[in-house]
């Protein structure tokens, strides 16, 4: 550029081109920064796919969450092999499966399932209707259309079955509905508590500040897992005073909400602390002082001037809190303290099956599959959070 | 020094009292009490239940119960277990010791793995190794502890069938459950501790992996900051060896926040160890806490909460002291 002729600025941007130079909004800058972060973008993509899968779980899953048959039980059925080539001609054909055949292992007397190759192949059908098993999408639209399925008595268990013969693939699809939403909801509880108490503590200082900071210290002093276990065990009992004072009979939706609130309750301390220190420093800044001088009320200053200034930090902190909540929820479900097992599934609950019957994973390793979506979801949320942090940080602009 | 410790300790008293109060209040959320099921049993006379309630002080109002419990607590008495009628302190001693073995071992492993990794990825910034380290640490961050433990157990089973077929070696490389072998009673003292360590190795490793991600990432950032500073340039200029510059000049200030962080690390490690303990059938705090909370054996639950809270507070205190020892800028005053 050194040899480029020096032209006045006005000449570089002629008046007619002025309309093209629109200044970028904050959101646009952040998005452009975020988009350069390829790994974070990939994480975001995985999350979009996973959340869509959770929404359309009923459509993607060939069976219902708790569907099983008594005879034959199909317990610990290994993943059904899909065949793509014609057994006689060896040519590529539409996918088909063989019916299952039960037998006893001569040594361990375990029930084992093998495919019956002598029987007629059963083609995998797409967009099948199962009128006997309708489901709802988002709890609104009732339908019975499923992406794929096979004619009974043959079954298609893509990822095998658990100790009761329930299809792991279908349960993983439905499990996302719980495991993926619980973290996002708990973050809102944390956000409200953290902003409210952190904002109040930072703004008023003095006794209010002391009270909330001591409260956070007290909650932090008890090991988190133990507090969670105790709270989740005691609160899920419908007879406890808190539930009764609301006149609740704990059903599974309320247990779900209870878990959300407990998680949020455990998680708000760190956020409140940081919001407090940010508010403390912002309160002294010129624009906050100016608002005060203009006669703005306290709550207006707090809500309109102080808290929005903490937003970029808060967004990142919340995004990075979600994977933590997902991990905690799966852990709680794993020890049987998660949402009700009667009519919901969560990935942690599914992993619990791997420890049934002694250690079922020895002979049914497919029961570990539900761990993979947990890993992917937590990883992707972390990547997105890191990407957001870099994108929102003006010092890291590229 | 002594007055520093005393003052620091006094500062912790209100926190501790608050935490016990919170724990006690939460324990009162339980519907009924331990004797509710006994009262429903027609074979037990109502007078018996009433007498037992009185003897445990359960007929008193909550605040009196708390004051009594707290008075006993100060005197080191955690009360009696309803279930086994034994002092709570006897019941919870072993599980806490066992959990501590796991947590301390995993802290050692965490440091042993994370410090070299962090230093390496700072010294070789943007190299292939750096990227591998950051990928691995993301992996450790995202994989749930109990799932990782299950996967490792499965791998051990596969390894056994592999070694059985290839070498005819039909033994597990590592144990997949419990804290001791079956022949533990016959071992010598040295053999016993080795046996426990051998059992603890895998679960401690699993617990450590979850901490590696944060540790290496922050250590890398810290190291990069110091490696860029003037005193490092001076050290290089006066002809010090690279190793000495890295480890003596850059690592020492970079490691300071981690010494302070040991206390903050404890709760997450205790929590992380909890689920691994359940998978591994390690006789630690969490499995027994779960069992006693299921039985509404409230004083045992409270005992675990109180002692683990105390350990946590002491852990924080120790890391404060260590910080003052490591960082010459901090003086007791």
Arithmetic mean of pLDDT over chain A: 82
pLDDT over 60 at A95, yes or no: yes
Residue B184, min C-alpha distance to chain A (Å): 22
pLDDT at A248 (0 to 100): 57
Task: Evaluate if residue A13 carries a pLDDT over 50.
Answer: no
**Contact list, A237 vs chain B (CB under 8 Å):** 30-31
Task: Determine the distance in angstroms separating the CA of B283 from the nearest CA of chain A, rounded to an integer.
Answer: 16
Q: How many CB atoms lie within 10 A of CB B285?
A: 29
- Provide the pLDDT for residue B249: 86
CA–CA dist B141, A276 (Å, integer): 28
Convert the pLDDT of each residue in A166-182 to its tens digit: 899 999 999 998 899 99
Q: B30 by DSSP, 3-state: which? A: coil
Quote the CA–CA distance of B331 and B323 in Å, as a whole number: 10
pLDDT computed for residue A2 by the predictor: 44
pLDDT at A3 over 50: no
**What tens digit of pLDDT does each residue of A295-308 get?**
888 788 877 877 77
Say if the Cβ atoms of A223 and B150 lie within 8 Å: no
CA distances from A284 to A60, A201, A228, A287, A387 (A): 55, 15, 38, 8, 30
User: How distant is the Cα of B285 from the closest Cα of chain A, in angstroms?
Assistant: 9
pLDDT at A19 over 60: no
The per-residue pLDDT for B204 is: 92
Question: A16 versus B211: which is more confidently predicted?
Answer: B211
CA distance A390 to chain B (A): 14
Contact with chain B for residue A145, Cβ under 8 A: no
Residue B58 CB-density burial (10 A; 0-12 exposed, 13-18 middle, 19+ buried): middle
Top pLDDT among A72 and B127 is at: B127
Q: B270: nearest CA in chain A?
A: A223
Given a contact cutoff of 8 angstroms between Cβ atoms, the answer to whether B53 and B59 are in contact is yes
The residues near B271 (Cβ < 8 Å, ≥ 6 apart) are A223, A224, A225, A226
* Tokens found for residue B237: 């200029």
- Indicate if the pLDDT at residue A1 is higher than 50: no
Give the pLDDT score at A47: 94
CA dihedral sign, ordered B72, B75, B81, B86: negative
pLDDT in tens, A203-234: 888 888 888 888 888 888 888 888 888 888 87
Q: Produce one character per residue of A83-111: b if its CB has 16 or more CB atoms within 10 Å, e if not.
A: beeeeeeeeeeebbbbbbeeeeeeeeeee
Instruction: Check pLDDT > 80 for residue A108.
Output: no
The pLDDT of B220-228, averaged and rounded, is 87
The yes-or-no verdict on residue A52 having pLDDT over 90 is: yes
Partner-chain residue, chosen from A221, A331, A354, that has the shortest CB–CB distance to B15? A221
Q: What is the pLDDT of residue B147?
A: 92
| pLDDT for A365 beyond 50 | yes
Contacts of A355 in chain B (CB under 8 A): 150, 279
B313 CB neighbours in chain A (<8 A) are 221
A330 vs B contacts (CB less than 8 Å): 144, 147
CB count within 10 Å of CB B244 equals 11
Are A222 and B305 inside 8 Å of each other by CB? yes
Percent of chain B with pLDDT over 70: 94
DSSP 8-state class, residue A357: T
Least confident residue range of A331-340, A361-370, B259-268: B259-268
In angstroms, the CA B117 to CA B216 distance is 6
**Which chain B residue lies closest to A219 (C-alpha atoms)?**
B19
Would the pLDDT of A17 be above 70? no
- Distance from C-alpha of A268 to C-alpha of A187, rounded to nearest angstrom: 9
Residue A49's pLDDT is 95
The answer to whether residue A396 neighbours chain B at the CB level (below 8 Å) is no
Q: Out of B144, B176, B270, name the one closest to residue A225 (CB).
A: B270
Is A226 within 8 Å of B305 when comparing Cβ atoms?
Answer: yes
Between residues 159 and 188 of chain A, which touch chain B (CB distance below 8 Å)?
A: none
* Average of per-residue pLDDT across B26-38: 70
CB-CB neighbors (< 8 A) of A227 in chain B: 26, 305
Of residues B147, B309, B312, nearest to A371 (C-beta): B147
Give the helix ranges, DSSP H, for A284-394: 286-293, 298-300, 307-309, 311-334, 347-352, 371-392
Q: For chain B, what is the mean pLDDT?
A: 83
d(C-alpha B210, C-alpha A211), whole Å: 33
Burial of A71 (0-12, 13-18, 19+ CB in 10 A): exposed
Considering only the beta carbons, identify the residue of B16, B141, B271 that sits closest to A224: B271
pLDDT at A354 over 80: yes
Report yes or no on whether pTM surpasses 0.80. yes
What integer is the mean pLDDT of B290-319? 82
pLDDT 10s digits, B250-293 = 888 888 878 777 766 776 677 668 889 988 888 888 888 888 88
A277-286 exposure pattern, b = at least 16 Cβ within 10 A, e = fewer:
ebbbebbeee
| pLDDT for the residue B37 | 67
* Candidate ranges A339-348, B41-50, B283-292; pick with highest mean pLDDT: B283-292
Burial label for B59, CB within 10 Å (0-12, 13-18, 19+), is exposed
Question: pLDDT over 90 for what percent of chain A?
Answer: 12
Q: Which residues of A touch B19 (CB under 8 A)?
A: 218, 221-222
| Cβ atoms of residues A124 and A156 within 8 Å | yes
What's the pLDDT band for A396 if we cut at 50, 70, 90? Answer: low
CA distance A336 to chain B (A): 10
Of the candidates B26, B138, B176, the beta carbon closest to that of A234 is on: B26
Distance of CA A283 to the CA centre of its chain: 35
Considering only residues 273 to 302 of chain A, which have any Cβ-Cβ distance to chain B shorter than 8 Å? Answer: none
| Residues 329-388 in A contacting B (C-alpha not used; CB under 8 Å) | 330-331, 334-335, 348, 351, 354-355, 359, 361-362, 365, 368, 371, 374-376, 378-379, 382-383
Inter-chain residue contact B19 with A221, CB threshold 8 Å: yes
Top-confidence residue, B269 or A378: A378
**Helix (H) or strand (E) segment spanning residue B20:** helix B2-27
- Model confidence at A51, pLDDT cuts 50, 70, 90, reads very high
Confidence check: pLDDT of B100 > 90: no
List, for residues A241-297, the tens digit of each pLDDT value.
666 665 555 667 778 888 888 888 888 888 888 888 888 888 778 888 888 888 888
- Does the CB of A29 have a partner CB in chain B at under 8 Å? no
């Amino acid at each position: 550029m050194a040899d480029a002729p020096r032209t006045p600025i006005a000449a570089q941007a002629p008046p007619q081109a002025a309309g093209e130079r629109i200044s970028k909004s904050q959101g646009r800058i952040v998005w452009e920064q975020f988009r350069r972060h390829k790994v974070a973008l990939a994480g975001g993509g995985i999350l979009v796919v996973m959340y869509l899968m959770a929404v359309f779980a009923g459509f993607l899953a060939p069976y219902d969450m708790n569907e099983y048959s008594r005879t034959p039980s199909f317990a610990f059925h290994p993943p059904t092999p899909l065949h793509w080539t014609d057994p006689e001609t060896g040519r590529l054909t539409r996918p088909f499966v063989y019916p299952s055949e039960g037998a006893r292992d001569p040594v361990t007397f375990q029930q084992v399932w093998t495919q019956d190759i002598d029987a007629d192949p059963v083609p995998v059908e797409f967009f099948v209707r199962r009128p006997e098993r309708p489901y709802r999408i988002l709890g609104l639209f009732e339908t019975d259309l499923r992406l794929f399925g096979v004619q009974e008595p043959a079954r298609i268990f893509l990822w095998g079955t658990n100790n009761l013969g329930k299809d792991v693939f279908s349960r993983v699809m439905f499990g996302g509905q719980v495991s993926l939403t619980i973290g996002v909801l708990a973050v809102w509880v944390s956000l409200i508590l953290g902003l409210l108490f952190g904002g109040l503590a930072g703004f008023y200082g003095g006794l209010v500040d002391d009270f909330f900071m001591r409260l956070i210290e007290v909650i932090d002093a008890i090991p988190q897992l133990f507090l969670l276990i105790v709270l989740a065990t005691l609160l899920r009992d419908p007879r406890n005073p808190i539930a009764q004072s609301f006149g609740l009979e704990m059903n599974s939706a309320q247990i779900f909400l209870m878990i959300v609130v407990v998680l949020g309750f455990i998680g708000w301390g760190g956020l409140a602390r940081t919001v407090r220190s940010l508010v403390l420093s912002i309160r002294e800044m010129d624009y906050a002082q100016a608002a005060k001088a203009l006669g703005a009320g306290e709550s207006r200053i707090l809500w309109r001037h102080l808290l929005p200034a903490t937003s970029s930090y808060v967004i990142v902190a919340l995004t990075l809190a979600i994977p933590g909540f997902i991990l905690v929820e799966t852990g709680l479900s794993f020890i049987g303290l998660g949402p009700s097992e009667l009519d919901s599934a969560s990935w942690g609950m599914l992993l619990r099956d791997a420890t049934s019957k002694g250690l079922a994973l020895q002979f049914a390793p497919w029961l570990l599959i539900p761990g993979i979506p947990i890993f992917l979801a937590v990883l992707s949320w972390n990547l997105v959070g890191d990407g957001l942090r870099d994108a929102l940080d003006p010092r890291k602009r590229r | 020094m002594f007055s520093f410790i005393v003052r620091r300790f006094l500062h912790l008293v209100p926190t501790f009292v608050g935490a016990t109060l919170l724990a006690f209040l939460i324990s009162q959320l339980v519907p009924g009490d331990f004797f509710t099921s006994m009262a429903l049993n027609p074979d037990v006379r109502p007078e018996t239940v009433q007498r037992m309630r009185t003897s445990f002080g359960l007929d008193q109002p909550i605040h009196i119960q708390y004051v009594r419990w707290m008075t006993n607590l100060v005197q080191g008495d955690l009360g009696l277990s309803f279930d086994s009628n034994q002092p709570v302190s006897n019941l919870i001693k072993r599980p806490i010791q066992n959990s501590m073995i796991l947590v301390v071992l995993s802290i050692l492993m965490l440091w042993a793995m994370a410090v070299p990794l962090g230093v390496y990825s700072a010294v070789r910034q943007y190299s292939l190794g750096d990227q591998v380290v950051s990928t691995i640490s993301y992996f450790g961050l995202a994989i749930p502890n109990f799932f990782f433990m299950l996967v490792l157990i499965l791998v051990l089973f596969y390894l056994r069938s592999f070694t059985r077929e290839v070498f005819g070696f039909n033994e597990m490389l590592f144990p997949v459950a419990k804290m001791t072998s079956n022949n533990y009673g016959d071992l010598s003292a040295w053999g016993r501790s080795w046996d426990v360590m051998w059992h603890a190795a895998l679960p401690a490793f699993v617990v450590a992996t979850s901490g590696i991600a944060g540790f290496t990432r922050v250590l890398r950032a810290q190291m990069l900051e110091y490696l860029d500073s003037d005193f490092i340039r001076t050290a290089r200029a006066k002809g010090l060896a690279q190793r000495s510059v890295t480890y003596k000049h850059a690592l020492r200030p970079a490691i300071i926040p981690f010494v302070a962080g040991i206390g903050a690390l404890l709760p997450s490690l205790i929590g992380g160890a909890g689920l691994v303990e359940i998978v591994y059938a390690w006789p630690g705090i969490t499995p027994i806490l779960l069992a006693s909370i299921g039985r509404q054996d409230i004083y045992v639950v409270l005992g675990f909460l109180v002692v683990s809270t105390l350990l946590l507070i002491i852990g924080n205190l120790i890391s404060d002291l260590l910080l003052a020892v490591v960082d010459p800028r901090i003086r007791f005053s």
